[in-house]
Amino acid sequence: MRPEHLEQAVFDRWGRQCVVCGRTVEEWLETNSGARNQDKLSFHHVNGDDTDHRVENVIPLCQSCHVHIHKVDEPPYRVWHRQLPIEHRHAWNEYHHEYYEGPRLAREEAVNQFGDEGGIPESVKYLKHEREDFDPDEFEAPDVDLLPDDHTGDDCDASDQANDDDADCDEDNNSAS
């Protein structure tokens, strides 16, 4: 289970939708198209460290975008993909490597280089079934500030762990970092 106070802080910072495609849990649970195996947004640790619960390091994603951030070095995933350590980037298969093999970028550098690249997320194919009158050709990414704010008190640190018997700082086991 992920800590409730972390979840609320992340949603206050980033919103209750996928940062990449804008999908919400309610949208995919209310459609009859396809199987529904997940009933909440995944929390992605931008720097790959699943013990770093700073709000600026944890972003909410739908499962589709979460998988693509780890595997694909192209818009709209590149700005997040290039911030991961190489050991957290994976190939789709042994013959087709789409991931970036260069050095990890800092958030500001990644946003400056790739923040306005655009791109259409793969998960848009689901939005056609989840939103009434949705036109994929008119897709607009969620409007979120990609550069970190100063949220020094919004993390799950050692004092929180001591006060919460270590249980609140465990990350949800259903989603990868």
Task: Give residue-wise pLDDT tens across range 39-72.
Answer: 899 999 999 898 999 999 999 999 999 999 988 8
Percent of the chain with pLDDT over 90: 26
Query: How distant is the alpha carbon of residue 23 from its chain centre?
Result: 11
The predicted-structure confidence for 129-152, as pLDDT tens digits, reads as follows: 888 888 888 888 888 887 766 544
Count of structural domains, the chain: 1
In a domain, 176, yes or no: no
Supply the mean pLDDT for the chain.
77
Closest C-alpha to 105, from 122, 91, 130, 85: 85
The model's pTM is 0.68
Q: Is 134 left (phi over 0), alpha (psi -120 to 50) or beta?
A: beta
Side chain identity, residue 92: W
Tell me the β-bridge partners of 60: 43
In a domain, 109, yes or no: yes
In a domain, 177, yes or no: no
In a domain, 26, yes or no: yes
In a domain, 19, yes or no: yes
Print the domain residue range for 97: 4-169
List Cβ neighbours of 8 (8 Å cut-off, separation of 6 or more): none
In a domain, 114, yes or no: yes
In a domain, 100, yes or no: yes
Side chain identity, residue 116: D
